[in-house]
Amino acid sequence: MSDPTEALPPRLSQIVEDFSWAEGREKLELLLEYSEKMPPLPDWINRSTNMEQIHECMTPVFVHAELENGGMHYYFDIPPESPTVRGYAAILAEGLQGVTPEDVLKIPATFYMGMGLHKVLTTQRLNGIGAILAYIKRLATQHLTKDNE
């Protein structure tokens, strides 16, 4: 059986491994740490004009994607009152920083299972974080399409 982290970019794979060693409550604490260290939006990003809302999430999640030097960069705006979703988005932003759109598209939809998040989050929350990954994959596809025009 192959290693599920093989399809993951190196930094994201390391984050998944770190979470896999954590037990129950520790996983939630790690998510909270990522939530707290999510960087603020750069000044040049304006939520009303530069960001798209991920409507599939109950939490207000806004994302902006840039393709720079062949690598994707994701910027999220999520209220601090939603630390699990914010933490997951921070993991994606960090783990996918500079990764090619092609490699973003290779990430398994349920890679979070390797982190054990399915053991500590509700089904509704898991659906929301799944929607975030699906949405950023759509953005990666859009950048690939633009790049090939």
Which pLDDT band holds residue 100 (cuts at 50, 70, 90)? very high
Residue 144 has pLDDT above 90, yes or no: no
Tell me what pLDDT residue 120 has: 92
Which pLDDT band holds residue 2 (cuts at 50, 70, 90)? very low
The four Cα atoms 44, 138, 62, 15 give a dihedral, to 10 degrees, of -90
Residues 27-65 pLDDT 10s = 999 999 999 999 999 988 877 778 999 999 889 999 999
Average pLDDT for 87-107: 97
Tell me what pLDDT residue 3 has: 54
Distance of alpha carbon 138 from alpha carbon 89, whole angstroms = 15
Q: Which of 129, 5, 146, 148 is nearest to 65 (CA)?
A: 146
Q: Which residue has the higher pLDDT, 6 or 131?
A: 131
Residue 147 has pLDDT above 70, yes or no: no
Provide the residue ranges of all domains of the chain, joining segments of one domain with +. 4-147
Residues 3-33 pLDDT 10s = 555 689 999 999 999 999 999 899 999 999 9
Task: List CB contacts of 55: < 8 A, sequence separation 6 or more.
Answer: none
Residues 83-93 pLDDT 10s = 999 999 999 99
CATH topology of domain 4-147: Sufe protein. Chain: A (3.90.1010)
Which pLDDT band holds residue 99 (cuts at 50, 70, 90)? very high
